[in-house]
Amino acid sequence: MTSQDLYDFAPLARVLLTGAIIALGPIVWIWWRHRGATPLKRLQVLAVLTLFLSFDLVMFGAFTRLTDSGLGCPDWPGCYGNASPIGAHAEISAAQAAMPTGPVTHGKAWVEMIHRYLATAVGGLIIVLTASAWLQRKRGGSQPISPWWPTATLVWVLIQGAFGALTVTMKLFPAIVTLHLLGGTVLLMLLTVQATRHTQFADNLGLVPVPRLLRGLVAVTALLVFAQVTLGGWVSTNYAVLACTSFPMCNGAWWPAMNFDGFQIWRPLGFLADGSHISYEALVAIHYMHRLFAYLVIAALLWLGWMLRTVPLLRQQRRWLIGLTLLQFATGLSNVVLDWPMLAAVLHTGGAAAIMVVLTWIWCTAGPEPARSAAS
């Protein structure tokens, strides 16, 4: 092809078919493994498995971004108008020959398309989850959560797909890529609510009584972590990870030279809103604000972990929270002092997503303490 539109929907059916085939594997496994179980039990397993695979998708999305594979196929939803890099071999080879380390290579094209296939498969699982929930309601069976939850999740994953398309067609526009990252985090939170409610119902578990102030601390901590995820996404999408090359100081100073123009939201990658190139000082500001806010967030997470010791029934969640917080600190530190190793960078994104999952799990598990009678 001599020219290629940014949006080419010709290969869409084949991409959707590939995703459907991938999604069919988990669905068949659930049906076979739990063929004697009730529909509600299979719905619980589907919710948990969809959450797990969505988390894997977020991790693979981080790998796609960190390997600079986001433009491995510069059109959407296919690759140079084809459903896979196989059909685009000539175009990819030409682009790779022109720029061997550029954004389009055979390896990067496969990473990008596999990410799209996996995203389509997750969307397929959420469609099945939604249809199953409404079917269960039509049968009049009891349900631990309204079918509007998976419906909202389906709408959200479609929005995520749109942002995924814009990520490519707008050439890694930082605001769009950051919103795509945040959208993946919200998707995990929506699925965590459903997986938790289904598991509580299946195992006949009630809510764990938690003091009001402690539940408030969970909510505040979740908001702080979400804000930190936003700052971290801004660091990653602006490639500012190595703007500070020392720790705990940044470039040998406790308050390095910074330019806060880097926080202009609507601008292309590498540029400011006025069209000028983004300065090194602006990248330093992006990095260092994320680092400074991390101290507050880590303190809040550890304080919450300490306070949860008073609720023995949340011991499992507490251990996950503290362990993930320590892992997040270690991977964030290694990104700076070890020159951004791939494993640590992917784990840092996954750790942030996992912390949000655990905080949502805690929130869904915690309930109000019973009111005390006047006699007591």
CA 154 to each of CA 145, 159, 261: distance values in angstroms, whole numbers, following the listed order: 15, 9, 36
CA 20 to each of CA 48, 55, 123, 128, 258: distance values in angstroms, whole numbers, following the listed order: 19, 18, 9, 11, 48
Active-site residue (options: 91, 112, 281, 369):
112
Question: Residue 114 and residue 336: Cα distance in Å, rounded?
Answer: 29
Radius of gyration for the chain, computed over Cα atoms and rounded to the nearest angstrom:
23
Main-chain phi, psi angles of 253, to 5 degrees: -135, 145
Question: Residue 221 and residue 304: Cα distance in Å, rounded?
Answer: 8
Question: Residue 27 and residue 135: Cα distance in Å, rounded?
Answer: 16
- Cβ atoms of 177 and 266 within 8 Å: the answer is no
β-pairing verdict for 208-210 and 366-368: parallel
112 tagged catalytic: yes
Write 195-200 long-range contacts (CB < 8 A, 24+).
Answer: 195/44, 195/47, 195/48, 195/50, 195/51, 196/360, 196/361, 196/364, 196/365, 197/144, 197/145, 197/364, 198/40, 198/43, 198/44, 198/47, 198/48, 198/144, 198/145, 199/44, 199/48, 200/144, 200/364, 200/365
- Cβ atoms of 22 and 118 within 8 Å: the answer is yes
* Residue 354 token pair: 């996992």
Question: Residue 271 and residue 268: Cα distance in Å, rounded?
Answer: 6
DSSP per residue, 274-309 = TSPBPPHHHHHHHHHHHHHHHHHHHHHHHHHHHHGG
Cis amide linkage into residue 77, ω under 30° from 0: yes
Q: Active-site residues: which are they?
A: 112
